[in-house]
């Protein structure tokens, strides 16, 4: 993780949310590396994040300790909006950067009161939350109804932007809602078809076009 004072070049991101008149002396620009976790469920949340670029996956845990992939954010949106509006001090989900990720970050200890009093900002946040609900519902429907291969191909493409997939498979099986053995069988089948190549520490995506086709079927 790298932090710096917010450069003027990024002020436009906040203007999109009607925050152009805000005192930004405490605002930061934060960059995360691929694979870096920056929110942990039920742990204190320090910032309200405005995504500038990159991708992050969002997971939530059940009482059993298993986690479920909720959705991806792709180069846009706010992280921490639910916690801000509800006044919660702990994150309701965990987030991990799947690519290099850049965010404008506002410390909640400084900005939470003024943000809650900004009606245009609150309306903008409400619209974003509606879209998140739609995406989360679609993802849950996908987990229940869509064939696993389709979901797996989509997950591989999202998680391996450089063509190399190296996530822990036990975590992946939990997040996709299947057994570890079923995940291994599916990965092996994709390798046998020439779509993936298994290496010591990762899987290499050999045919992204076919994986994209199967993710949409």
For residue 74, the domain's CATH number is: 2.60.120.10
Find the mean pLDDT for residues 77-89: 93
Same domain, 19 and 112: yes
What is the structure's pLDDT at 7? Answer: 95
Interatomic CA distance for residues 37 and 112, integer angstroms: 23
Position of tokens 């506002």? 106
Give the domain range for residue 207: 146-216
Same domain, 155 and 135: no
Domain boundary among 103, 127, 143: 143
* Listed residue (32, 51, 54, 53) closest to 106, CA to CA: 51
Same domain, 139 and 151: no
Predicted confidence (pLDDT) per residue in 92-134, tens digit: 989 989 889 999 999 999 999 999 999 999 999 998 888 877 7
The model's confidence at residue 29, banded by pLDDT at 50, 70 and 90, is: very high
Same domain, 164 and 96: no
Q: In terms of C-beta density within 10 A (0-12 exposed, 13-18 middle, 19 or more buried), how is residue 77 classed? A: middle
The model's confidence at residue 52, banded by pLDDT at 50, 70 and 90, is: very high
Domain boundary among 143, 173, 193: 143
What is the structure's pLDDT at 65? Answer: 62
Q: CA of 193: how far to CAs of 45, 90, 197, 198, 207, in Å? A: 44, 45, 10, 12, 10
Contact 8, 27 (CB under 8 A): no
The model's confidence at residue 193, banded by pLDDT at 50, 70 and 90, is: very high
Counted domains in the chain = 2
Interatomic CA distance for residues 176 and 1, integer angstroms: 27
What is the structure's pLDDT at 67? Answer: 66
CA atoms within a 13 Å half-sphere pointing along the CA-CB vector of 135: 15
Q: What is the overall mean pLDDT for the chain? A: 88
Same domain, 39 and 76: yes
Same domain, 139 and 150: no
* Listed residue (114, 86, 90, 94) closest to 27, CA to CA: 114
CATH number of the domain within which 210 lies: 1.10.10.10
Same domain, 151 and 178: yes
Same domain, 107 and 160: no
Provide the token pair at 30.
């934060």
Same domain, 124 and 19: yes
What is the structure's pLDDT at 144? Answer: 63
């Amino acid at each position: 993780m790298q932090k710096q004072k917010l450069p003027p070049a990024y002020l436009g991101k906040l203007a999109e949310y009607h925050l152009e008149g805000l005192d930004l002396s405490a605002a930061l620009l934060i960059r995360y590396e691929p694979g870096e976790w920056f929110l942990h469920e039920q742990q204190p949340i320090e910032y309200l994040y405005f995504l500038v670029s990159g991708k992050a996956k969002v997971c939530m845990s059940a009482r059993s300790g298993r986690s479920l992939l909720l959705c991806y954010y792709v180069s846009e949106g706010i992280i921490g909006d639910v916690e801000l509006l509800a006044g919660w001090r702990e994150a309701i989900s965990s987030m991990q950067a799947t690519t290099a990720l850049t965010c404008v970050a506002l410390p909640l200890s400084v900005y939470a009161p003024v943000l809650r009093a900004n009606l245009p900002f609150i309306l903008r946040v409400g619209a974003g939350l509606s879209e998140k609900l739609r995406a989360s519902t679609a993802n849950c429907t996908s987990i229940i109804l869509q064939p696993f291969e389709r979901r797996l191909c989509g997950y591989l493409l999202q998680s391996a932007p450089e063509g190399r997939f190296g996530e822990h498979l036990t975590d992946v099986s939990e997040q996709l809602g299947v057994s570890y053995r079923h995940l291994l069988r599916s990965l092996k089948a994709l390798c046998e078809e020439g779509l993936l190549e298994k290496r010591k520490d990762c899987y290499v995506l050999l045919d992204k076009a076919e994986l994209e086709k199967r993710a949409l079927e």
